[in-house]
Structure 1
Amino acid sequence: MMNTRFQPDGLALAIALALTSSNLYAETSEVTQIDANVEKMSVLGSRVSSRTATESAVPVDIISAESLSRGGFTELGQSLQASVPSFNFSRTQVSDGSDLFRPATLRGLQPDQTLVLINGKRRHNQAIFGLNGTVGAGAAGTDMNAIPLIALKDVQVLRDGAAAQYGSDAIAGVINLSLKDTTGETTGYLQGGTTGEGDGDNYSIGLNTGFDLGDDGGFINLSLEYRDADGTNRAQPDIGGSSTIAPGTLSDDVRWGQGNAASEFESVFYNAMMPVGDVELYSFGGYSNRTALGNGFWRNFDEAAKNIAQVYPDGFLPRIYNEAQDISVAAGIRGDINDDWLFDVSGVYGQNRYDFDSRDSINASYAAEYLHNNPGATDEDIAANSGPTSGYSGGFHFDQTTFNADVSGFVEIGRDAPLYVAFGTEYRTENYEIVAGELASYSCGISNADSAFPSVMDPDVYAGCGFQAYPGLRPDAAGQADRNSYAFYLDLETQLTDTWSLGTAARFEEFSDAGSDLVWKVSSRYEVTDDFALRGAVSTGFRAPSLQQSAYTAYTTNLGPGGVLSDSFTATAGSDFPSALGVDSLDLETSENLSLGFVFNATDAISVTLDAYKVKIKDRITLGSLLSADDVAFSPDAMAALNATGADQANYFSNSVNSTTQGVDLIVTYRTDLFDGDFNATLAGNLNETEIDSVNAADGIPEDVALDDLQRSFLTDGQPKQRATLTFDYSRNDWRGMLRANYFGETNVTYFGNDHIGLPDELSPTGSFLPTSVVEAAVLVDINLEYQFTESLSVSAGINNIFDVTPDELGANESLDFITNQAFQYPVRALPYGFDGTTYTAKVNFSF
């Protein structure tokens, strides 16, 4: 018989990883949906089987699947943003692959500085990152929306540095996604929704079922989910003109696209366990595929470098078709060594692929070369030889394999409480590949010449090469890279007295391409009284540069000074261009993390947790801004390297920044009986600020080359410095209602402001342009009402953003209004709450 101390979703998951040596507390609130009458083991946290979630040295939120799905959201990232104020899920428009994924961040740091687990096992990162001036630019985090909500039992969010327990990426914290393990019941839902503007119609279907495997507690749980959403568009008629409308006159139709991309998602996940003798065999994993059709900027009819009037006489809107495929599988064996010791051995494989097609586009150089070789060609001939208007632009592929061997138990040390010990090792391999697009997506003419050709519309202007909006990845940018790493860890924990616990952790990890580090953590909790406890931790941490950062190279189209689109190149670390500027390689990021807080049960109905934190990061990796020949004129070697790329401007990754992020998390909960029903209120807030301490620039290299104002603005002001949610939840008999207010602080970035675009003031109708792009602070109010018809059928309806709050509309003195010919209503970067306005949802939940 197996020892009953062993629990598949509790201690065993903790054993499998280098978790914090302290006890993690899940606040009993609407945010966490914890039943105060049930003792729950913290999945993230102690390896001690007797610990409960009401004991804590650092904060963790445990959010039930029911809470995640109640707000009408179908995406995991949106649900977490509504539940955890320190979690940000920024919206971005017209930014290539960001139409399909959104940067998920914790405590104002980068997406790749938060580690994501599934069932306690490391989840692979996505193959792509944001490029064109986005929150999290250059950071390949985890694609949160690749995981279906229907498959989740709950989510734990550890809000503390945990690199000493998990290794690379856990500087900001850890998010663990627990898959369902239920059997004997099938549950599902049907949901539909739309926006207040009548667009963005969407529906989703989810189904979950489970079966017993044998008679000893084995199970397999299966989940299916499908989502389909039409795009939204908040653009307006523009004044770009056409073959029949003079420039400066409003177009008859809305031609630009500013909104969410049309998207489709399908997925299947499983979770299984089978006892075999004295051990348990387990496995879980899933497959998901998502597509999205995003927009580029409208190409005006008279833009000779970009358009072929014989094909698009009135201009065109190039589209980017994104496809993301995600596969993961984990398998392992765990069990008792004896009454005091447990083991867990596992392997996890994950793969992520992002591929891009250009649609409704054109390679203007095809027709230009044809006309160059056939000077007397007719318009019909030019149109017939202008090349394809769609095709494959390339892709990025990443896979990761992780092996863990872990042992956990306790040693009697002559005290009332034993010493709890955990140790283990991890080995990981990673592979990254850049796949070139088809010839027409990147070439200069059908012959792929070394130089451009005069445009068919203006012989004094050279035709652009490659597809518009998303130029293809060239063969010289394609390639593969791989690496491996190994780690050893040791955790110790004990109860010094009945009221004082102490834990320590240490981890050594080495990467084949980035070096090694030894990090540590000390955490403690002291109960001053039965109702008041202090908690805190101090730790060091690190993050290794990802292969996506160290091996990435590509040509892109970016918006440069004067509103001009130009070819840009991202150079690999250690290549000629960054080396000429003093950057020969990427090193580890290192961190120091301090947290201190308290837990106070003021009454049986009111509880308060407050946690302050400070995170200092040294050698933080950033993707530099694009540098032109003028920017690097001080270095002849850099100018020569830039010219050799054939691009107008180039950038690269570097360890450019030392920063400090500090803030406070507050959660206040209130529970009571009200009018024969249950009333819960939760206030959850986060104050957060990041400052640049210093810039790492090589001797002779100006600091604004290593880190310019554009990068600074996204790091320090691209995410809200204040976030809060106030949730009221009331249930009585078969009715349940929720009212939630979400507060988002202001964001203020240089991108699409005049500090970035640099438009002459005389072009402004008001005589000047604003320096930055601001998204104002806002409060969005959501409401949801649910009725339980029977034990197996309920119906709910909700309105999100009931007061139709959007950012302030662009004015004539804003650069984005000018360069879009008045088509865009709102800012498009650093949008914490989007601009879709009010949305409506209706949902049917069923079980049998």
Structure 2
Amino acid sequence: MKKFTLLLMLFQASFIFAQKEITGVVKDNSGAALPGVNIVEKGTQNGVATNMDGGYKIKVKDGAVLIFSYIGYDSVEKTASGSKMDVILSQEGGQTLNEIVITGSRTAPRSNTTSALPIDVISSKDLAATGQATFDKALQYKIPSFNTVQTPVNDATSLLDPYEIRNMGPSRTLILINGKRKNLSALLYTQTSPGRGETGADISGIPTDAIKSVEILRDGASAQYGSDAIAGVMNIILKDNKGDGSVTARSGITAQGDGEMLGVSVNNGSPIGVDKGFINYTVDFSKTSQSNRPGTVNAAGEYSDFVYVDPNDSANYTNGATQASITANNATGLAKVNEFLSRRSDAGNINGSPENAAAKFLVNSAYNVSEQTELYFNAAYIYKKVNSFANYRTPYWRSVEDYPYLAKLFPNGPNGTYDGYVPTFEGLLNDYNGTVGLRSKINDWNIDVSFTTGGNAQTYMVGNSHNRNKVYAPRWNPDTNLFEPVELYRENSPVAFNPGGTSFSHNVGNIDISRVLSDKISIGIGSEMRAENFEIISGGLASYDGGGADSFAGNTPENSGKWNRYNIGGYFSLDYDVTDAFLLSGTVRAENYSDFGNAFVYKVSSRYKIDPMLTLRASYSTGFRAPTLHQIYTQKSQYSFIPGKGIQVGGLVNNVSPQASFLGLAKLDAEKSKNFTIGVGGKITRNFNYTIDYYHIAVKDRIVLGSEITGTKLDGDGNNIGTTPLDDVLRANNLSDVSFFANAIDTKTSGIDVVLNYNNLLVGKGDFDFSLSGNYTIQNERDGAVKNPSLVESAGQSIVNPTQEALFFTSRPQTKWILGANYEIGKMGFSLNNTYFGKTTFKQQGLNNNLRTEFIPKIVTDLGVTYSATEKLTLSLNVNNLLNVLPEWKFKAENAAGQAIMNNTTVNHAGLTPIQVESNLITFNQRYSQMTYDGYHFSQLGTMFSLSLNYKF
């Protein structure tokens, strides 16, 4: 680093070449000044933006070409001549696609129409128009290939919903802030839901009012950016305006009168000195109340799962039980179920959207140290608190007959009697990131040196629960002068627990250097060094001892700890404009990780402009994704719902533990990918543009969190009596099953992305814009056999079962389309968006293998209305899901045996047909009837109203 600093100083000392200052004003056809126009010296990263009066000032070399670009206007290129140059931009053919983009290239920036890669550009106005409360949900209704929904069962996942691009999971999309890598979340998704076994950056916490635009590269980019960019890259560009401050007040509520939302945010910018730079900051506070969408619980299913004892099973005749007593107890239990459900038809369950509160702070700044050197920094801090609930423990599920002390711990029923209890879950999240860097131009070399830090910590609290496990400790009895065993928990159990949590942080150093060598050739070279740290925070003794708190067990000391690694990588990029129409681009990258070794990847891409109506583009790349520290080191006991068995305790074994060695589990290696994209784009008319892109992604050695592996032999009561090493591990740790990570499968994913835009259509006295964008998944499947460890294979089991296959490949819409229209007339603006969610298919845990479930395609309609009362005051009303469309699923038969189950009208002891039994299994007796236990289509809250007021300073 000292040598590099000395070299930088020597370059600055020799910084001698002709420079000239150009000033001017940019206006539109009507003569109105245009603030915020991008002005870039062609082939460089030297650029400025116009001020509030449309004025600009920039220093360039003699003979430089300046590119003037602005959303909705034609770009203009002009050769610098003289010291003053005024420019007029026309709206006639201007499109969003003409905006200069920086994502996807390590050389000079290019316009979207001249890029060889498919890039979506979403403005802050586009995000605000969705009416969604958070950034990730706004993208859900703007980008067809982007999907995210709330998980049915919250727990820790209430802090961060899994998202993904092109059905590739959250781990395979790289998130950048102003071009710099954002830290991962500390959360590892371990529930049986989409995103299982993965982690991603927390984009939900980024305040939308701080965002200038979002560039989404829909192509593999590991060669340019390193690990995690297999599916693409999302670059979040922060606001950099020096004025135009505003305050926004938000409120909202669902049509059912819950989920109340209140929020306020302030965004403001100020210049530093006289044209020396800017500082822009955003402060955002919000609170959303609980919303609840439980189903009507099926009494027959409850009776069958929690009460019924089979009088025909000889094993049930113990302790003096007779057929008459069993029948009487069954009748009494059924009466208890019916009485409870008559008062609480939803069985007390609370599932929907959790209560949350958030505080977000963000600052973005740049300072001109000299004419050719800029110091920049940005920083953000997000605090989030979430309150959610576990499944309600009904009085016939956790009964006073089995646990007499519950009457004392939870006297919450009529007249102080015991009526069950619902454990609470409180999550606290702290997320921060910051970058400081120096950009300079030295003898035509563009140099960017930066340091980035970031972290995410999540800690949890469980309340209104108990430790029901029998754990004894010796205690001195003075009456007998002996140590006697005393129960630590059960009747002596606390009702609040500290389960611990997780944290992740990284420190990243970047050096990026580029230069335009000629009109045809530009190069880029750079290096990145990253250090990562992951910690599992141990919980309090009562939270994990003997099995831990009922609902969410804490982290044990032996499974807790701190781990770290580092990696260093370098890349070289070359762009060759063979002609004005024909571009060739290539990048190579080498990486070295301290824990698993080396990676070498490359990318080649090309673009050929036949004419303005048609441009051809294609790319081919290899990529990699390093296993996260979360995946390598997480080891825990976890409560999960097993259909037909209720809540069970399973174990997640990491691949570097003694248990892993005993079970013969291999250490995790990096995923490798091959990504091919080919597409076309252009302008049919001045106002109509389009892009169509085909993609194919092949991933080898994909890392998955395997399905739960059970004992090899069970007795009639479900006890494990197998004799293999796997059985020994399960029994020794009091686990019903064990799961672990593995490079288990190869996958193939292909599809088509379509974007159509028609803008500036004059309708009456107003302007009409129309857009249609869509994603269609052609193929998303496993390629070849599952790579099972020999121990699992010999036991006749697989770490990838039909449930996992469905979560990986069919749990997101097969196709998704967004049809949008905007109309502006006078002070009024109207937007209408229709989002089509294609079918999703699940094979829920416990579901008969001859059946599957499918969510029926649905269209969600969103309406937005804005009114500009004055030049400073704007009111916006959004009605999301205007027609109150809710998810809907149905059973599908896989074969004749499945059809027979659906057609069978024979009822069991509880009066349930076989298909009703299956339905109860996957919805926990209809508690989760809208979404099933493993997932669902889209948000289930129905119609939502939101109103915002924006006042400009």
Normalised by the length of structure 1, the TM-score is 0.88
User: How many Å separate the matches in 1 of 2:846 and 2:882?
Assistant: 30
Q: Does 1:153 align with 2:259?
A: no
User: How many Å separate the matches in 1 of 2:180 and 2:544?
Assistant: 40
Q: Which of 386, 395, 398 matches 2:501? A: 395
Name the CA shift for 1:402/1:382 in 2 (closer, same or farther; >3 Å).
closer
8 A Cα contact 2:112 2:119, kept in partner: no
Q: Partner of 2:695 in structure 1?
A: 613
User: How many Å separate the matches in 1 of 2:70 and 2:851?
Assistant: 43
Q: Partner of 2:752 in structure 1?
A: 664
Q: Does 1:11 align with 2:45?
A: yes
Residue 130 of structure 2 aligns to which amino acid in structure 1?
A: G
Q: Partner of 2:581 in structure 1?
A: 499
Identity value in percent: 29
Name the CA shift for 1:96/1:543 in 2 (closer, same or farther; >3 Å).
same
Q: Which of 493, 498, 513 matches 1:407? A: 513
Q: What secondary structure is seen at the aligned counterpart in 1 of 2:425?
A: strand
Answer with 159-168 or 208-217: which moved more: 208-217
Residue 774 of structure 1 aligns to which amino acid in structure 2?
A: E
Q: Which of 83, 96, 99 matches 1:40? A: 99
Q: Which of 826, 830, 851 matches 1:733? A: 826
Q: Does 1:654 align with 2:742?
A: yes
Residue 58 of structure 1 aligns to which amino acid in structure 2?
A: L
Name the CA shift for 1:28/1:522 in 2 (closer, same or farther; >3 Å).
farther
Answer with 244-253 or 321-330: which moved more: 244-253
The one-character-per-residue Cα deviations of 1:690-734 (angstroms, maximum 9, x if unpaired) are 110022234564285232212111011111110010001110111
How far 1:442 moved relative to its partner? 1.2
Q: Which of 754, 768, 782 matches 1:692? A: 782
User: How many Å separate the matches in 2 of 1:95 and 1:12?
Assistant: 47
Answer with 486-495 or 141-150: which moved more: 141-150
User: How many Å separate the matches in 2 of 1:655 and 1:150?
Assistant: 40
Residue 781 of structure 2 aligns to which amino acid in structure 1?
A: E
User: How many Å separate the matches in 2 of 1:231 and 1:833?
Assistant: 18
Q: Partner of 2:492 in structure 1?
A: 386
8 A Cα contact 1:620 1:659, kept in partner: yes
User: How many Å separate the matches in 1 of 2:420 and 2:200?
Assistant: 36
Residue 940 of structure 2 aligns to which amino acid in structure 1?
A: F
User: How many Å separate the matches in 2 of 1:653 and 1:409?
Assistant: 43
Name the CA shift for 1:52/1:830 in 2 (closer, same or farther; >3 Å).
same
User: How many Å separate the matches in 1 of 2:160 and 2:729?
Assistant: 33
Q: Which of 248, 252, 262 matches 1:203? A: 262
Q: What secondary structure is seen at the aligned counterpart in 2 of 1:443?
A: helix
Q: Which of 824, 829, 833 matches 2:928? A: 824
8 A Cα contact 1:335 1:343, kept in partner: yes
Q: Partner of 1:89 in structure 2?
A: 148
Q: Partner of 2:657 in structure 1?
A: 575
8 A Cα contact 2:421 2:465, kept in partner: yes
Q: Partner of 1:765 in structure 2?
A: none
Q: What secondary structure is seen at the aligned counterpart in 2 of 1:502?
A: strand
User: How many Å separate the matches in 1 of 2:343 and 2:70?
Assistant: 56
Q: Mind listing any 5+ residue stretches in structure 1 that lack a counterpart?
A: 14-24, 374-380, 445-464, 757-769
User: How many Å separate the matches in 1 of 2:645 and 2:71?
Assistant: 49
Matches within 5 A, 1:284-433: 284-304=378-398, 308-310=405-407, 311-312=409-410, 313-338=418-443, 340-365=444-469, 385-412=491-518, 417-433=519-535
8 A Cα contact 1:165 1:507, kept in partner: yes
Q: Partner of 2:285 in structure 1?
A: 226
Q: Partner of 2:560 in structure 1?
A: 478
The one-character-per-residue Cα deviations of 1:308-349 (angstroms, maximum 9, x if unpaired) are 5322321111111111110111111111111x2110110000
CA RMSD of aligned residues (A): 3.1
8 A Cα contact 2:447 2:511, kept in partner: yes
Q: What secondary structure is seen at the aligned counterpart in 2 of 1:550?
A: helix
Q: Partner of 2:56 in structure 1?
A: none
Q: Partner of 1:436 in structure 2?
A: 538
8 A Cα contact 1:2 1:279, kept in partner: no
Answer with 787-796 or 4-13: which moved more: 4-13
User: How many Å separate the matches in 2 of 1:136 and 1:173?
Assistant: 16
Matches within 5 A, 1:806-821: 806-808=886-888, 812-816=916-920, 820-821=924-925
User: How many Å separate the matches in 2 of 1:407 and 1:294?
Assistant: 48
Normalised by the length of structure 2, the TM-score is 0.78
Q: Partner of 1:839 in structure 2?
A: 944
Answer with 826-835 or 651-660: which moved more: 826-835
Q: Does 1:271 align with 2:305?
A: no
Name the CA shift for 1:361/1:369 in 2 (closer, same or farther; >3 Å).
farther
Q: What secondary structure is seen at the aligned counterpart in 1 of 2:157?
A: helix
How far 1:608 moved relative to its partner? 1.7
Answer with 63-72 or 229-238: which moved more: 229-238
Name the CA shift for 1:183/1:818 in 2 (closer, same or farther; >3 Å).
closer
Q: Partner of 1:760 in structure 2?
A: none
8 A Cα contact 2:812 2:840, kept in partner: yes
The one-character-per-residue Cα deviations of 1:413-463 (angstroms, maximum 9, x if unpaired) are xxxx3310110111000000001111221113xxxxxxxxxxxxxxxxxxx
8 A Cα contact 1:9 1:119, kept in partner: no
User: How many Å separate the matches in 1 of 2:507 and 2:43?
Assistant: 22
Q: Which of 870, 874, 877 matches 1:797? A: 877
Matches within 5 A, 1:438-837: 438-444=540-546, 465-560=547-642, 562-630=644-712, 636-671=724-759, 672-688=761-777, 689-694=779-784, 695-699=786-790, 701-702=792-793, 704-752=797-845, 754-755=847-848, 771-808=851-888, 812-816=916-920, 820-827=924-931, 828-837=933-942
Q: What secondary structure is seen at the aligned counterpart in 1 of 2:644?
A: helix
Residue 676 of structure 1 aligns to which amino acid in structure 2?
A: K
User: How many Å separate the matches in 1 of 2:173 and 2:707?
Assistant: 24
8 A Cα contact 2:711 2:722, kept in partner: no
User: How many Å separate the matches in 1 of 2:545 and 2:851?
Assistant: 36
8 A Cα contact 2:639 2:647, kept in partner: yes
User: How many Å separate the matches in 2 of 1:841 and 1:108?
Assistant: 30
Q: What secondary structure is seen at the aligned counterpart in 1 of 2:611?
A: coil
Residue 789 of structure 1 aligns to which amino acid in structure 2?
A: A
How far 1:502 moved relative to its partner? 0.5
Answer with 812-821 or 669-678: which moved more: 812-821
Name the CA shift for 1:199/1:561 in 2 (closer, same or farther; >3 Å).
closer
User: How many Å separate the matches in 2 of 1:481 and 1:753?
Assistant: 36
- Rg (Cα) greater in structure: 2
Matches within 5 A, 1:132-147: 132-147=191-206
8 A Cα contact 2:708 2:799, kept in partner: no
How far 1:49 moved relative to its partner? 4.5
8 A Cα contact 2:834 2:862, kept in partner: yes
How far 1:661 moved relative to its partner? 0.4
How far 1:468 moved relative to its partner? 1.7
Matches within 5 A, 1:121-270: 121-236=180-295, 238=297, 239=299, 246-249=336-339, 250-253=341-344, 254=346, 255-270=348-363
8 A Cα contact 2:337 2:396, kept in partner: no
Answer with 469-478 or 571-580: which moved more: 571-580
Q: Partner of 2:376 in structure 1?
A: 282
Q: Partner of 1:22 in structure 2?
A: none
Q: Which of 91, 112, 121 matches 1:53? A: 112
8 A Cα contact 1:11 1:43, kept in partner: no
> Which is bigger in relative contact order (C-alpha 8 A, separation at least 6)?
1
User: How many Å separate the matches in 1 of 2:875 and 2:113?
Assistant: 33
Name the CA shift for 1:613/1:383 in 2 (closer, same or farther; >3 Å).
closer
